[in-house]
């Protein structure tokens, strides 16, 4: 940890006043560009705690985040159920709900991207990020803390969504350990996508632009996939895109782990569809590595 005296960042004290060296001269306080792993983790958890406290104090943020996925569950289950034929279930409405829920879960965690981007853009707009930059903390902590807090919110949303899904007839059939693994893959995908949202939030100038920029690319990503309809029903060129879509890999992995694939289901020949669990992990880790690097680099360049 960097050593300084005077203002305490956790209590809101100013880092630019008070304190001094042993000889009585002023002590310069500059942001830490490096720092050890212990400091990076500690700083990230402090920022995450700040965002979680904010979420508790403004509960409507979480409430509104729950409304959309619940609506999707009800609408898709009862409006499209029985109208869309899926492998192994045909036109059976109950079978479609089994098929659907992995897609709704995955869509919910990826749509958290827009909220992450808007939150960071709002902090930038209000000058809070400039405040963080003045503190002796590791550069990546602000972004990491924010994405960790978003991951906690996503986990809470998934819990509520799973309860709603159970109420409309969804069940998992492969045991609790595999179901927990499926939810872990969903959270990993959601965490990966929040880094995309973080980068968007740093690039745009307003929270409104971050919300729009965070959603506009998500709709083709989620709908050109195997989330709501099988790729066999798509034109061949769209089917290839859907089968290699990172979003599709997580959806298929969850269906496999939940036991929500129909009797006699044969997965498409694409490698991610044949090995969805491994593909889901690889895609998510790759997205985290790439977009975390870009987001932290953007944060550093903006701090100059």
Higher pLDDT, 177 or 34: 177
227 in Cβ contact with 106 (< 8 Å):
yes
Rounded to the nearest 10 degrees, what angle do helices 276-303 and 141-167 cross at? 140
Residue 86 lies in a domain: yes
Residue 47 lies in a domain: yes
Average pLDDT of the residues in 178-204: 92
Q: Can you give the pTM of this predicted structure? A: 0.79
Residue 2 lies in a domain: no
Helix count and strand count (H, E) for the chain: 12, 0
Q: What percent of the chain has pLDDT over 90?
A: 29
- Per-residue pLDDT at 6 exceeds 50: no
Q: What is the predicted pLDDT for the residue at 28?
A: 40
Residue 208 lies in a domain: yes
Residue 53 lies in a domain: yes
Higher pLDDT, 70 or 5: 70
Q: What is the predicted pLDDT for the residue at 20?
A: 42
Which of 17-21, 160-164, 170-174 comes out lowest in average pLDDT? 17-21
- Per-residue pLDDT at 302 exceeds 90: no
- Per-residue pLDDT at 84 exceeds 60: yes
Residue 19 lies in a domain: no
Residue 3 lies in a domain: no
Which residues lie below 8 Å from residue 63, measured CB to CB, with a gap of 6+?
none
Distance CA 258, CA 180 (A): 9
Range of the domain at 274: 31-303
Which of 19-28, 273-282, 292-301 comes out lowest in average pLDDT? 19-28
- Per-residue pLDDT at 151 exceeds 80: yes
Which residues lie below 8 Å from residue 85, measured CB to CB, with a gap of 6+?
91, 233
Higher pLDDT, 121 or 219: 219
Q: What is the predicted pLDDT for the residue at 35?
A: 54
Which of 26-35, 255-264, 274-283 comes out lowest in average pLDDT? 26-35
Average pLDDT of the residues in 261-284: 92
Residue 225 lies in a domain: yes
Q: How many whole angstroms from its chain centre is CA 182?
A: 15
- Per-residue pLDDT at 95 exceeds 60: yes
Q: What is the predicted pLDDT for the residue at 191?
A: 93
- Per-residue pLDDT at 156 exceeds 50: yes
Structural domain total, the chain: 1
């Amino acid at each position: 940890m960097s050593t300084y005296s005077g203002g305490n960042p956790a209590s809101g004290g100013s880092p630019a006043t008070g304190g001094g060296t042993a000889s009585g001269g002023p002590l310069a306080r500059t942001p830490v560009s490096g720092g050890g792993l212990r400091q990076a983790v500690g700083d990230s958890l402090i920022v995450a705690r700040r965002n979680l406290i904010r979420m508790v104090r403004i509960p409507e943020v979480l409430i509104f985040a729950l409304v959309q996925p619940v609506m999707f569950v009800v609408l898709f289950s009862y409006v499209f159920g029985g109208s869309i034929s899926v492998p192994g279930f045909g036109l059976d409405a109950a079978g479609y709900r089994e098929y659907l829920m992995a897609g709704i879960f995955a869509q919910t965690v990826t749509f958290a991207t827009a909220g992450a981007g808007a939150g960071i853009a709002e902090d930038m707009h209000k000058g809070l990020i400039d405040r963080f930059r003045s503190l002796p903390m590791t550069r990546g902590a602000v972004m990491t803390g924010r994405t960790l807090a978003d991951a906690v919110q996503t986990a809470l949303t998934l819990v509520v969504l799973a309860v709603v899904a159970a109420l409309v007839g969804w069940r998992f059939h492969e045991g609790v350990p595999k179901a927990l693994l499926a939810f872990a893959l969903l959270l990993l995908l959601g965490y990966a996508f929040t880094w995309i949202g973080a980068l968007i939030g740093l690039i745009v100038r307003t929270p409104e632009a971050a919300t729009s920029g965070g959603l506009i690319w998500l709709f083709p990503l989620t709908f050109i996939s195997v989330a709501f309809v099988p790729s066999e029903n798509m034109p061949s060129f769209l089917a290839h895109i859907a089968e290699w879509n990172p979003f599709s890999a997580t959806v298929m992995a969850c269906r496999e782990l939940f036991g929500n694939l129909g009797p006699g289901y044969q997965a498409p020949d694409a490698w991610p569809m044949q090995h969805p669990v491994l593909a889901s992990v690889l895609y998510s880790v790759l997205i985290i590595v790439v977009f975390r690097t870009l987001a932290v680099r953007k944060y550093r360049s903006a701090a100059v």
